[in-house]
Structure 1
Amino acid sequence: MNLIGVYWFLQILIFVAFSLAIGDTSIQDPYFKDFLGIRFILIEVNYAGLPAVVLGMAAYWRHHQRTQNWLRILLSTTTLWLCALVVSFYNALNWGQFLYVGKFIEWDSLLFYAASPWHLLEHAIHFSIAGTISLLLLGCSISAVWVYLPSWIPKRADKGSKIKWGTLFVLCIACTTLIYEPFSIYQISSSESGRYRLGGAKEYSVTTIGDHLDSLLDQRTGPYTSLVRSINKTGPMPRSQSVSAHKVEFDTYLSPEAYGQQNRQIFETTRAYNVIIIVIESLRVDQLTQWGGSRVVMPHLETLAHKSAVFTRHFASSSHSNYADVSILSGTYPFWSERIHVYPEATSYPRPRIYDLLRESGYTTSIISSQNENWGGMLNYYESTRLDYLFHANALESAKPFYNNPIKRHAGKCPDTVTLEIATNWIRAQTQPFFTYINLQSTHYPYYFPETMERPFGKDMDVSGLNFLNLPPQQIPDIYDRYADSLNYVDQLLGRFLDKLSQNGQLKDSIVIISGDTAQAFGEHGFTGHASKLYNEVVQTPLIIYKPDQAPATYEGLSHHTDIAPMILSLLGLPPYPGFQGHSLLEGDKREWAPLVCQSPAMKQVALVTSKYKLFYDFSRGTYQLFDTSRDPGELDDLYAAAFKKPEIQILQDTLLFWAEQQIRYYGDRTRHTSHFAPKFKSPDMVQPASPLRGHVKAH
């Protein structure tokens, strides 16, 4: 009991010290710190007793061996070190995440991190090398304290006094808990008081007291409170009310082999174009003049866009790469459940990858990427017997057939110069129609370009130690210019890549599709980076489709990452594939609404975009936001509190919930996976005016 009491006491000291040092935790909430601050502390104190018990039992086993059997000593020492490392690094990781994103780790986020620990370390280095090293040293130091702490306690002390001391400490916590009743906070959200609107700051203008308290408990009270509540949290998304005439269809499963057999005959009489998809990390629409940009950042891409079909209201399917990238290649919505999805090695649900279909249609196929595709298990989704060549930043050995020099990675990323050289050499070696997907990463924070490059927009600056997800406001203009310089660098690489294709005579036979995986925030809504809230600056990205014999055109309707795969089939003259949930917009089909998803450690949110509105649903708070983007493109005026009873808004809300409900139901029912594809949606009550392709409009 004495050891448990000591560990418990030290856990409390660490929690209080970090809370006061970092700030913005529940105990410092401006609304409730005076009234409920001690209760928030006690909730975390009670939950912190769980690891204290584990550490105490492991330490007792190690330091109170009755025999000196070497095997028992080895096992007990290993167990104590393992427990100490887990507890220490769990705390370090929690406070590191809280420092960057303002919330503690939930259960599904912990599983997500555990699936790619080395890649997590690489991402942490992107944020801050010094901060990452500090957290690692802190975790190791605290682990050593946990392990050697029992040996520092005087062993000659009276055993009875130890037990009394430990018992007294536990009794103090128990008595304080009984007096203050901290868990009574849980009851407030469902009480009459919890339904009152929380006044004051604008960001809380449509938040109830109960919603705000739930948010504090879920995200900002402490590491163990967030973990326990996320494990026990059973509240699903609200159910749709069927106020609109939704239609959902489940197409029968069709294998890539069966689909490809019919296409080989088509290509005997039809020209088979090569297909090149290029995804640029974090590409905002305002970096191109045709989307309203004020300066020419990417001149080569602008030149290509003037010859292409451009989509001016294109949305990434998600605000983070592990969802957005997959939807480009699969044509499916990245929403499987209410928790973060890590792609498993084997799945029961279909994976309708575009390259599988083209491989069975006579193409050679490749994925060539500068990023580590292990992030979130993406590689598990991509790997296929129909993929002829796969290179990514964690598979440097696979570069040897097309690149013979040593490759030096930067924070887990492969240089885009290497990636494009590998792609160029692979393409040059092809003697039949090919498909390749290329992912470029220089435009990921800290926005890479060679030190010797002349910077057209920014100035030299030290970006080490800055918080990628919460950049200092006074430095955002300079960081924004650095971002533009990295885009300009990627544009130079793209220009050389396209020139080589042209010189090889392969560009005239190739469809080239360029988009961003996501976009990037620069403080428009109080945060920076991506993998967070689904505002336009994070999810709206250009889409450019170049086809040699296609006239330039502009599409002003909604488009979505899931529409890219269906449009590839259309451009090749192939029939639609029933496994795609997206639309082939080039053939007059239109998208009435587009769903967006964020399920990252920083945010869990879904949204629905139409020609006029954008509706958000926040899983953490259980709240909505509504913006009229036709009048308020900056998404600053939240209309939900005033407009949620209007029939058109109820239809909008019901459509979002119906979409999410059907997605969860399908992926949760394994019996459907072998016979049917994911659902396709049509909502006739939400029809927007058709916006077919029209003559190309020159940049302003």
Structure 2
Amino acid sequence: MGKLFENVLLITIDSLRADRISIYGHKIDTPNFEELTKHGYIFLNASANSPGTPSSFPSILTSTYPMMYGGYGRITNSRPYLPIYLKKSLDSEIITIGVNSNAFLSRHFGYSMGFDMFFDGLQNSKIKMSISNLLMVKLRPALGYAPYLDWKKLNVRLKYSILKALSKEKSFFAWIHYMDVHIPYLYSSKLKNILNKRKLRMINNIIIRMSRGESINIPENLIDEIKFLYDEGVIRIDSAIGDILDFLEKYDILDDTVIIVTSDHGDEFMEHGGLGHMPKLYEELLHIPLIISNQNLPKKKIDTLVDQLDIAPTIADVFGLPFHSKWLGRSLLSIHSLKDKVIISEVANSTISAKVDKSLWKIAVRNRKWKLHFYVSSSTSELYDLTVDPYELQDISNEQPEIVQKLMKIIGDHIKNVHWSNFEYRLTRTIKNLKLKGKI
């Protein structure tokens, strides 16, 4: 099968939960999200495979689970990394572009592999910062700025890279990751940020303290203010998408480009006692937006259960490529044959971190009706009936032992697959080290 379209643009938005944009029912003005869904697929039941950036991106870009192949954090050579696969398969036919401002997605963690042009805002692979840069990170929140590059600066870099690809008459795969919804929460007005810097510092400090495990009583009016600030970030991202759509249309490549929009995870607003994105596996952190848009696709809402594992195979399908043998997802372009899948999500760290701690391994498995949380070290579980308890408030594991047993079989098989992949990873690494030392 040949190419379906010439180009793919993957847009990932840090911390964006599905229920905070208009296309999923939220009362907010996001016209560019709406524009994307005029021609294309909106997936109503898309799930993240983990609740944090370091742990979810292996699923997005390698179609494998976070705890496989040595765990998450750095992209190991054993993982089937999408940009490398595209370059090996299409060679000189394609230009690969990566643009982000998240240290967890930097070249230091292996994310630059396979990209012809890669920008992460870092000067070198060791994440060294000059004194002036370090001071700016400390001072920006007080001045009304965030300690990352905003969408306008990232879009400039993306457009520049796409124009270089067009000048060489090549197809492109471009990935851009936005941080504007992520903490620190800010107003869209710089003046308002300066005038309210004490309040912003207080709000963001509370979120950071809670992400470190502190228990803090939050008044309802403060939660409302946090949600308002979060929505301000969503509106800025909508502007970012509009800017990119205008650019693609200006250079007459909108029809030739499939745009995939999703997020790595959501954020919590005290639904389960926290703020931000702690390592929990509840739906406010796992239910993510997913849109596949192109002018030549019909408008369709799809209720099928899908997850981040399906993104890399979908991109390969656009380019007419067979799927990598290690990928665990499926293409989402064949909407008429899509069936519900069992969703597995997992995490194993104490706070927002790229460091895996297996003693903290949590696994959740869900189908259309049931969702089971399993805590590996304590062998305890929680069961929720999502059809009557979508917010996961009433644990009924003691009332449904047969359901728990059935879902535990799936988790047991998953744990075996993770252990096998990690054995393969360690064996491959050992052989490589022996070769480097000239012993084999």
Q: Which category describes the TM-score, using the shorter chain as reference length? A: 0.7 to 0.9
Aligned counterparts, 1:610-621, within 5 A? 610-621=367-378
Q: Which residue of 1 aligns with 2:438?
A: none
Q: Does residue 355 of structure 1 match 2:93? A: no
Corresponding residue to 2:160 among 425, 438, 443: 425
Post-superposition CA distance 1:505-555 (Å, at most 9, x none): 121210100011100100011111113211000111100011231111121
Partners of 2:415 and 2:99 in 1: CA distance: 32
Q: Which residue of 1 aligns with 2:218?
A: 473
Q: Is the 8 A contact 1:340 1:600 kept in 2?
A: no
Could you tell me which amino acid in structure 2 is paired with residue 274 of structure 1?
A: N
Partners of 1:631 and 1:539 in 2: CA distance: 18
**Higher Cα Rg, which structure:** 1
Structure with bigger helix share is 1
Q: Which residue of 1 aligns with 2:268?
A: 521
Q: Does residue 370 of structure 1 match 2:119? A: no
Corresponding residue to 2:110 among 381, 386, 394: 381
User: Post-superposition shift, 1:488?
Assistant: 0.7
Given the two structures, how large is their TM-score scaled by the length of structure 1? 0.52
The 3-state SS of whatever aligns with 2:333 is helix
Partners of 1:604 and 1:281 in 2: CA distance: 23
Corresponding residue to 2:388 among 622, 631, 639: 631
Corresponding residue to 1:561 among 298, 301, 308: 308
Q: Is the 8 A contact 2:5 2:318 kept in 1?
A: no
Q: Which residue of 1 aligns with 2:30?
A: 298
The 3-state SS of whatever aligns with 1:426 is helix
Q: Which residue of 1 aligns with 2:405?
A: 650
Q: Does residue 288 of structure 1 match 2:21? A: yes
Q: Is the 8 A contact 2:46 2:290 kept in 1?
A: yes
Q: Does residue 277 of structure 1 match 2:6? A: no
Q: Does residue 666 of structure 1 match 2:417? A: no
Query: Aligned pair in 2 of structure 1 residues 328, 487: CA closer, same or farther (>3 Å)?
Result: same
Structure with bigger strand share is 2
User: Post-superposition shift, 1:671?
Assistant: 7.6
Q: Which residue of 1 aligns with 2:175?
A: 437
Q: Which residue of 2 aligns with 1:595?
A: 344
Q: Is the 8 A contact 1:372 1:413 kept in 2?
A: no
Query: Aligned pair in 2 of structure 1 residues 526, 433: CA closer, same or farther (>3 Å)?
Result: same
Corresponding residue to 2:119 among 391, 409, 430: 391
Post-superposition CA distance 1:198-241 (Å, at most 9, x none): xxxxxxxxxxxxxxxxxxxxxxxxxxxxxxxxxxxxxxxxxxxx
Q: Which residue of 2 aligns with 1:416?
A: 151
The 3-state SS of whatever aligns with 2:288 is coil
Q: Is the 8 A contact 1:394 1:412 kept in 2?
A: no
User: Post-superposition shift, 1:472?
Assistant: 4.5
User: Post-superposition shift, 1:666?
Assistant: 2.2
Q: Is the 8 A contact 1:291 1:312 kept in 2?
A: yes
Q: Is the 8 A contact 2:55 2:73 kept in 1?
A: no
User: Post-superposition shift, 1:273?
Assistant: 1.8
The 3-state SS of whatever aligns with 2:11 is strand
Q: Does residue 605 of structure 1 match 2:362? A: yes
Could you tell me which amino acid in structure 1 is paired with residue 233 of structure 2?
A: S
Partners of 1:662 and 1:525 in 2: CA distance: 30
Post-superposition CA distance 1:402-440 (Å, at most 9, x none): xxxxxx665652222111110011112212100111000
Partners of 1:563 and 1:657 in 2: CA distance: 22
The 3-state SS of whatever aligns with 1:333 is coil
Partners of 1:427 and 1:374 in 2: CA distance: 20
Partners of 1:309 and 1:673 in 2: CA distance: 39
Query: Aligned pair in 2 of structure 1 residues 414, 272: CA closer, same or farther (>3 Å)?
Result: same
Post-superposition CA distance 1:657-681 (Å, at most 9, x none): 211222122212348759xxxxxxx
Post-superposition CA distance 1:354-382 (Å, at most 9, x none): 2223223121001100212367xx74332
Query: Aligned pair in 2 of structure 1 residues 510, 314: CA closer, same or farther (>3 Å)?
Result: same
User: Post-superposition shift, 1:489?
Assistant: 1.4
Partners of 2:231 and 2:378 in 1: CA distance: 35
Partners of 1:551 and 1:419 in 2: CA distance: 30
The 3-state SS of whatever aligns with 1:642 is coil
The 3-state SS of whatever aligns with 1:555 is strand
Partners of 1:317 and 1:522 in 2: CA distance: 20
Query: Aligned pair in 2 of structure 1 residues 374, 571: CA closer, same or farther (>3 Å)?
Result: closer
Aligned counterparts, 1:164-563, within 5 A? 270=3, 272-293=5-26, 295-336=27-68, 341-343=72-74, 347=77, 349=78, 351-359=79-87, 360-361=89-90, 362-373=93-104, 379-384=108-113, 386-395=114-123, 412-431=147-166, 432-452=170-190, 462-465=199-202, 466-468=205-207, 470=210, 472-474=217-219, 475-563=222-310
Could you tell me which amino acid in structure 2 is paired with residue 390 of structure 1?
A: F
Query: Aligned pair in 2 of structure 1 residues 368, 332: CA closer, same or farther (>3 Å)?
Result: same
Aligned counterparts, 1:116-155, within 5 A? none
Partners of 2:4 and 2:22 in 1: CA distance: 33
Q: Is the 8 A contact 2:254 2:294 kept in 1?
A: no
Could you tell me which amino acid in structure 2 is paired with residue 473 of structure 1?
A: I
Query: Aligned pair in 2 of structure 1 residues 462, 340: CA closer, same or farther (>3 Å)?
Result: farther
The 3-state SS of whatever aligns with 1:638 is coil
User: Post-superposition shift, 1:487?
Assistant: 1.0
User: Post-superposition shift, 1:285?
Assistant: 1.1
Partners of 1:395 and 1:461 in 2: CA distance: 32
Query: Aligned pair in 2 of structure 1 residues 670, 569: CA closer, same or farther (>3 Å)?
Result: closer
Query: Aligned pair in 2 of structure 1 residues 613, 662: CA closer, same or farther (>3 Å)?
Result: same
Q: Is the 8 A contact 1:393 1:412 kept in 2?
A: no
Partners of 2:191 and 2:147 in 1: CA distance: 22
Unaligned runs of 5+ in 2: 126-135, 141-145, 211-215, 352-359, 430-440
User: Post-superposition shift, 1:452?
Assistant: 3.9
Partners of 2:188 and 2:23 in 1: CA distance: 27
Query: Aligned pair in 2 of structure 1 residues 541, 604: CA closer, same or farther (>3 Å)?
Result: same
Partners of 1:448 and 1:668 in 2: CA distance: 44
User: Post-superposition shift, 1:620?
Assistant: 5.0
Partners of 2:252 and 2:380 in 1: CA distance: 54
Partners of 1:453 and 1:488 in 2: CA distance: 17
The 3-state SS of whatever aligns with 1:322 is helix
Could you tell me which amino acid in structure 2 is paired with residue 585 of structure 1?
A: L
The 3-state SS of whatever aligns with 1:515 is strand
